[in-house]
Structure 1
Amino acid sequence: MTVLVVTNDFPPRQGGIETFVRSLCDQLDEVVVYTSRSPGDAVYDAGLRFPVVRDRTAMLLPTARVTKYAVRLMREYDADRVLFGAAAPLGLMGPALRRAGARRIVAMTHGHETWWAGVPGTRQALRRIGDAADTVTTVSSWCADQIAPALSSAAVRRMRRLTPGVDTQRFIPDCGGEQVRKGLGLEGVPLVACVSRLIPRKGQDTLIRAWPRVLASVPSAMLLLVGGGPDRERLEGLAAAVGVRPSVVFTGPVPWADIPPYVDAADVFAMPCRTRRLGFEPEALGIVTLEASATGKPVVVGDSGGAGDTVRHGETGYLVDPYNPVPVGVRIAELLSDPAHARAMGAAGRDWVRREWSWDRSGAVLRELLEV
């Protein structure tokens, strides 16, 4: 029972969906991946236990050519199960792959399908995708609420929640944070980290605007912004304008394999993510928040989309208004000022993630949906 995974979201591209799809492939015994080209893909693919077929383009679209090639791969690898790494738009190939012999089709949804559900033309396309699949999966309760109105009643009844897992053997307390601190010259200081691409939706600018309030309570605190992205120049300028530039450290891009020690370096993880573009750009879930909890860190997270599913407010961290720097700063200062309370929240977060957010659990759900 070979599974054909059709996706644009696959390493070496970096991102939450890419990690999600790649990790699910590890949960399947027989799998072949059909995906787009990406810089460095030949070296990456050579280290995998399963075959990866790269299209000649940098973006798969449900064209006649791509559909025909997917059918060819089904026959070549004797695949009778199909997993769409992201339902829209590739799930539009579903009917053709069904005719070619797909016995089970699972279409995963993430954040962008929520705006597909709200726009008339794409809403109809999403409905067709749902009708062609045996199951449409969602990563959070919020995403399910947004997507369900666009689907037929039959497709809604078949919806299931399929969340990313967390590798609790990689994201563990004391996994290299002290070495990161030493390398950055941040030994012994109260440290807050945000690990994410530098883009407006992630809310690093809210952290910077909140930082004067944090420094008023904890003068030696430092803010570590881990990751690269198009917003760096603006954020550096904002830190200078607010007067906190000396206490804000930008690491630049960090390979995904090296991320856990950067999370471990922090006393508090903070990402006040927010919904942008009139509701069309939400945070669908936020796996990095769960990774921070797995590392034993208390979290401060913006109330956007499905991000609320990644924190137990008051127990593993706090859900905050991402548009208001005041409560963000208050919560961060509270955690930095009370290390025992922060450690207790971090320990509760790790216990929760180990119980509820394992890859084994996610894999079991996927195998059930694919009937493998």
Structure 2
Amino acid sequence: MRIAMVSEHASPLATPGGPDAGGQNVYVAHLTEELTRRGHDITVYTRRDSPEVPHRVELPGGAVVEHVPAGPPEPLPKDELFPSMPAFGTYLARAWDEEPPDVAHAHFWMSGMAAQLGAYAHGIPVVQTFHALGTVKRRHQGKRDTSPYERVGVERRIGRSCGRVLATCTDEVYELADLGVPPRQVSVVPCGVEVDHFHPGADTGDAPTRTQRRRLLACGRLVPRKGYEQAIRALTRIPDAELLVAGGPVPALLETDPEAERLLGLADRLGVGDRVRLLGAVAPSDMPGLTRSADLVLCTPAYEPFGIVPLEAMACGVPVIATDVGGHRDTVADGVTGRLVPPGNPHALAEAARELLDSEGLRLRYGAAGRDRVLARFTWRRVADGAEQVYRRVAVGHAVPSEVA
């Protein structure tokens, strides 16, 4: 099949861990890689954010990243890209005049706008993955939500008019139903993890040197919603442990990062500053060893549309303690591969951590079960199987929608 991946702000060329570079980048990169390996012809369309980048970049497997001129050629927060989506969609419409894809897979709501604008005149079916929904973000962030006002309405229209919604977790199906998108319009295909990269035998030689303390690890973008504050508060009740946080800017820029400053200040006020270490951006090649060096991986966001970090930990055979939200409910088997705890409850987090740290046997059982669960359900091969089924379904039964977003 000829497949167009539309990912307006999340390029597969970006290094995860930046302000707007995370799980979506990983998802697009690995799904593209796996589908290309199967012989599909894939172009990933992402916004040009620098005048220096080439128009087209070929990925190692043969897929192509095409940089779309939409808005100024400079980095912008994703929430400021909304006015540029008509130009993005117009570009796609022109590009698809000559070589229309069999299906377009849009990632994030603004990509859905652009993809439907580009696909409408050509009768190209659009599969939509939201990766995060505006209703959830608005509920948890309130006035701190910087999303455009139009977001929820656009998501509702996209969900109703696209060929099919590809949700990443069961929780999203219920959220979409509240938006008026019927469950029969939705397929659940989770995210995946690279099991040959993240594995129990990963070399820990480049990880920070261990002390006599137990090691807790948290990973992801350095933003408030990831809940690292809860992990720091929990640390006050886990006296023999250290907390490492991987993600954010490169280490040299951590001292200028507002969230890093806030977290380190909190740690000092709580008396655990000597046991909290922010690592900043960690090279993807070093993440398996860092993960494997930990006794436990903590995933503490107040909400999480999916969350790849629990899968990476489980693939390495490391137990996970995660908040009982969103995609965590699909990935972490409570009492089997780790523990689910209420969000915003550092006491419950600390209690679960102490119980696991006190029992090596339990940690080993959870770690082995986690690896088995990932191999059975969350490889990129399984993800590509699900995506292919959806693509073929919409390509065969596609009808041009009566409205576009």
Question: TM-score with structure 2 length normalisation?
Answer: 0.81
The answer to whether the Cα contact below 8 Å between 1:82 and 1:106 also exists between their aligned partners in 2 is yes
Q: Tell me how far apart the structure 2 counterparts of residues 327 and 117 of structure 1 sit (CA, whole Å).
A: 26
State yes or no: 1:83 paired with 2:105: yes
Q: What's the offset of the Cα at 1:212?
A: 2.0
1:19-60, CA deviations, whole angstroms, 9 ceiling, x for partnerless residues? 111111123211111111246855994544222111234566
**TM-score under structure 1 normalisation?**
0.87
Task: Tell whether 2:205 aligns with 1:143.
Answer: no
SS of residue in 1 equivalent to 2:289: helix
1:180 partner letter? D
**8 A contact 1:207–1:328 mirrored in 2:** yes
- The letter of the residue matching 1:223 is L
More deviation, 143-152/55-64? 55-64
Query: Could you say which residue in structure 1 is the equivalent of 2:233?
Result: 209
The Cα of 1:273 is off from its aligned counterpart by 1.5
- 8 Å contact 2:89–2:116 — kept in the other structure? no
Relative to structure 1, is the Cα distance of residues 204 and 99 closer, same or farther in structure 2, using a 3 angstrom cutoff?
closer
Percent identical pairs in the alignment equals: 29
Aligned to 2:400: none
Deviation sequence 1:101-150 (CA, Å, 0-9, x none): 24421011222344489899544322321233110111111111111221
Cα distance, 1:272 vs structure 2: 1.7
CA contact under 8 A between 2:313 and 2:320: conserved in structure 1? yes
Query: Paired residue for 1:193?
Result: 217
Tell me if 1:36 matches 2:56: no
The residue that corresponds to 1:161 in the other structure is 188
Check the 8 A contact 2:243/2:276 in 1, yes or no. Answer: yes
1:250 to 278, 284, 300: 278
Tell me how far apart the structure 1 counterparts of residues 138 and 211 of structure 2 sit (CA, whole Å).
48
The letter of the residue matching 2:6 is: V
1:130 paired to 2:159:
yes
1:287-346 per-residue CA deviation (whole Å, 9 max, x = no partner) reads 111110110001011123332222111111111123121111111111111112111111
Residue-pair matches, total: 355
- The unaligned stretches of length 5 or more in structure 2 are 17-21, 140-147, 250-257, 396-405
Matched, 1:226 2:246: yes
Judge which range, 33-42 or 100-109, deviates more: 33-42
Coordinate RMSD, CA, aligned? 2.5
Which secondary structure state, in structure 2, belongs to the residue aligned with residue 318 of structure 1? strand
Cα deviation, residue 189, structure 1: 3.9
Bigger drift between 37-46 and 307-316 goes to 37-46
Aligned mates of 2:26, 2:12 — CA distance in 1: 7
1:191 and 1:42 map into 2 onto residues whose CA distance is: 42
- Give the match for residue 278 of structure 1: none
* 8 Å contact kept, 1:200–1:231: yes
2:336 paired residue among 309, 315, 320: 315
**Separation (CA, whole Å) in 2 of partners of 1:144 and 1:331:** 29
SS class of match (1:231): helix
Aligned to 2:206: 180
**CA spacing shift, 1:32–1:102, aligned 2, 3 Å:** farther
User: 1:43, 1:234 → 2: CA distance?
Assistant: 39
Which of 292, 295, 302 lines up with 1:264 in the alignment? 292
Quick one: structure 1 residues 254 and 324, their matched pair in 2 at CA, closer, same or farther if it must change by over 3 Å? Answer: same
Is 2:131 the counterpart of 1:104?
no
1:214 is paired with a residue of what secondary structure? Answer: coil
SS of 1:65's equivalent? helix
Structure 1 unmatched ranges of 5 or more: 275-281
Q: Summarize the Cα distance change of 1:152–1:267 in structure 2 as closer, same or farther, 3 Å threshold.
A: closer
Change (3 A) 1:157 1:116: farther
Structure-1 separation of matches of 2:131 and 2:387: 15
Q: How does 1:306-345 map to 2 (within 5 A)?
A: 306-345=327-366
Q: What CA distance in whole angstroms lies between the structure 2 residues aligned with 1:203 and 1:68? A: 39
Q: CA deviation at 1:98?
A: 3.8
Counterpart CA distance in 2 for 1:324 and 1:117 is: 21
Amino acid of the structure 2 residue aligned with 1:31: I
Residue identity opposite 1:262 in structure 2: L
**For residues 116 and 298 of structure 2, what CA distance do their matches in structure 1 show?**
43
Secondary structure of 1:185's counterpart equals coil
Q: Is residue 19 from structure 1 mapped to residue 26 from structure 2 by the alignment?
A: yes
Cα separation, partners in 2 of 1:42 and 1:55, compared to 1, 3 Å: same
Residues 1:152 and 1:232: Cα distance change in structure 2 (over 3 Å) = closer
Alignment partner for residue 352 of structure 1, among 366, 373, 380? Answer: 373
Change (3 A) 1:96 1:327: closer
**Preserved contact between residue 31 and residue 50 of structure 1 (Cα < 8 Å):** yes
CA distance in 2, matches of 1:292, 1:186: 18
In structure 2, C-alpha distance between the alignment counterparts of 1:116 and 1:247, rounded to whole Å: 31
1:290 aligns with 2:301: no
